Amino acid sequence: MNAIIKLATNPLIKGFTTNPTLMRNAGVDDYEAFALEVLSEIKDRPVSFEVFSDDLDEMAKQGHKIASWGDNVYVKIPITNTKGVSTVPIVKSLSDAGVK
């Protein structure tokens, strides 16, 4: 978190992205709490958070929930789940609903 706050002072940094695997490897055990902490500090630039479910319906639910965290939030959806099933319909549905 401290690294993100420090980088946020650099005007060349235009936004931030995360993913559950990197956050877990960094010792983050509560992805939502971490995300909300990041968003409390980063309000003027886009921040991307990825869904962590492999279930398509749950991905859609998580996408809506993540989007609700802030106006500067962008939701990342993998193009397929781990079984190779396309998530394009979910991406379209979320996009149609105004999720960035």
| Spatial CB neighbours of 1, under 8 Å, sequence gap ≥ 6 | 34, 37, 38, 41
Per the annotation, the verdict on 76 as an active-site residue is yes
Please answer whether residues 72 and 42 qualify as being in contact, where contact means their C-beta atoms are separated by less than 8 angstroms.
yes
Q: Determine the 3-state secondary structure of 32 from DSSP.
A: helix
Give the residue carrying structure tokens 């479910």: 53
Give the residue carrying structure tokens 């990342």: 76
In the set 76, 83, 92, 100, the catalytic residue is 76
> Catalytic residues, which ones?
76
